[in-house]
């Protein structure tokens, strides 16, 4: 099966080389979407893959992800994996995400850092609180039973990726993807993954203000 | 009296802007009528403030001025919401364009 890993990246020059070097060992096709970085992220990415797409201006992680997914679909991917560029994911977890899809068990797999005790212990306290609130909100509004909602590591069949239509350009896309899965009754499975929290990924990650913004965006979108 | 004159000058300026936008086709006939009506109402209450007491009685709030303020707040809230939606739409269009360029450049 043709597996494509989509990596949205914005100013990840410090870590993207290590991330792509690790990913290159998997043998999967790598698609990097440079979201108008100013630190040469795209130049580094080209050392590892010819599939580098560039946004002329910064549009956000959700927008970059959608560009990468569209390109993957246009170039014949059967399975599309989404992977953060900040070094927080482990390449070995990709196989765990792809396996259930290849076996035909489901159309989408979602990485969850809360499915194993081992990984739970690594999540900083404040993050854990915010994640719990986000999970509770998502479970109530979508009717899904999830343990993690804002994990960038996911995999979709090409058909599922086509059906999931998310519009949010920035961080709220993660919630929108889950809403689409619920609304369109797309079969999914949560897969245990480990998130590596480094100083770098913590600084780049979401904060309390971001969660408030995400909730506001979702609320306004429902009013439209 | 001074405030009435000031409001009248401001309304005249606002209506002239609306008309100019209609003339350069940025506004349609609906927007021209709608905004002219809104500014007309403002002018009406500026010169006949006591007539707002009738609205206050209908709405069940104390004085006419309070009724006008309540309506203004609701109106402003709605206007801000519409602006936000419009802004979101423009952002969405920009993203679509940026995506199109990125994909076209890659397929070349």
What number is the average pLDDT over the span B7-22?
87
Decide if A54 contacts A67 (C-beta within 8 A).
no
Strand partners, A192: A112
Contact B101 A66 (CB under 8 A): no
The pTM of this model reads 0.78
Q: Which residues of B touch A46 (CB under 8 A)?
A: none
**pLDDT recorded at residue A172:** 86
**pLDDT recorded at residue A221:** 65
The rounded average pLDDT for each run of 10 residues, N- to C-terminus, in chain A (224 residues) is 96 95 96 97 97 97 97 97 95 96 97 77 77 89 91 97 93 91 96 86 70 71 57
Gyration radius of chain B over CA positions: 21
**pLDDT recorded at residue A163:** 97
Report the C-alpha gap between A73 and A80 in whole angstroms: 8
**pLDDT recorded at residue A215:** 73
- Decide: residue B15, CB within 10 A, 0-12 exposed, 13-18 middle, 19+ buried: middle
**pLDDT recorded at residue A28:** 96
What number is the average pLDDT over the span B82-107?
91
ipTM, 2 dp: 0.87
Strand partners, A81: A5, A155
- Decide: residue A210, CB within 10 A, 0-12 exposed, 13-18 middle, 19+ buried: middle
Q: Which of A67, A220, A223 minimises the CB distance to B99?
A: A67
Decide if A55 contacts A35 (C-beta within 8 A).
yes
Return the H-helix or E-strand segment holding A220: helix A208-223
**pLDDT recorded at residue A41:** 96
Contact B88 A220 (CB under 8 A): yes
Q: Which residues of B touch A70 (CB under 8 A)?
A: 99, 103
DSSP per position, B7-60: HHHHHHHHHHHHHHHHHTTSS-HHHHHHHHHHHHHHHHHHH-GGGHHHHHHHHT
Highest mean pLDDT out of A207-216, B42-51, B62-71, B92-101: B92-101
Contact A55 B99 (CB under 8 A): yes
Q: Which residues of B touch A54 (CB under 8 A)?
A: 102, 105
pLDDT band at B55 (very low <50, low <70, confident <90, very high): confident
Token pair 């969660």 is found at: A211
**pLDDT recorded at residue A87:** 92
């Amino acid at each position: 099966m043709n597996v494509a890993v989509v990596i949205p990246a914005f100013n990840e020059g410090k870590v993207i080389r290590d991330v792509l070097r690790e990913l290159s060992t998997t043998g999967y096709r790598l698609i990097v979407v440079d979201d108008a970085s100013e630190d040469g992220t795209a130049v580094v990415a080209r050392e590892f893959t010819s599939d580098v797409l560039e946004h002329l201006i910064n549009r956000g992680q959700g927008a970059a992800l959608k560009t990468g997914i569209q390109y993957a679909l246009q170039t014949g991917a059967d399975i599309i994996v989404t992977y953060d560029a900040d070094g927080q994911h482990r390449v070995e977890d990709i196989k765990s995400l792809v396996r259930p899809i290849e076996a035909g068990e489901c159309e989408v797999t979602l990485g969850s850092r809360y499915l194993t005790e081992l990984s739970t212990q690594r999540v900083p306290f404040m993050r854990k609180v915010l994640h719990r609130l986000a999970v509770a909100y998502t479970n109530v509004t979508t009717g899904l039973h999830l343990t993690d909602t804002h994990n960038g590591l996911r995999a979709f069949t090409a058909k599922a990726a086509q059906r999931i239509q998310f519009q949010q350009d920035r961080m709220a896309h993660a919630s929108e993807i889950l809403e689409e899965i619920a609304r369109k009754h797309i079969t999914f499975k949560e897969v245990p993954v480990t998130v590596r929290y480094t100083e770098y990924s913590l600084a780049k990650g979401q904060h309390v203000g971001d969660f408030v913004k995400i909730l506001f965006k979702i609320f306004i979108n429902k009013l439209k | 009296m001074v405030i009435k004159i000031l409001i009248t000058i401001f309304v005249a300026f606002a209506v002239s802007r609306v008309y100019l936008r209609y003339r350069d086709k940025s506004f349609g006939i609906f927007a021209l009528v709608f905004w002219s009506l809104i500014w007309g109402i403002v002018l009406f209450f500026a010169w006949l403030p006591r007539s707002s007491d009738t609205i206050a009685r209908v709405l069940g709030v104390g004085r006419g001025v309070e009724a006008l303020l309540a309506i203004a707040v609701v109106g402003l809230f709605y206007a801000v919401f519409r602006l936000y939606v419009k802004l979101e739409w423009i952002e969405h269009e920009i993203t679509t364009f940026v995506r199109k360029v990125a994909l076209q450049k890659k397929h070349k």
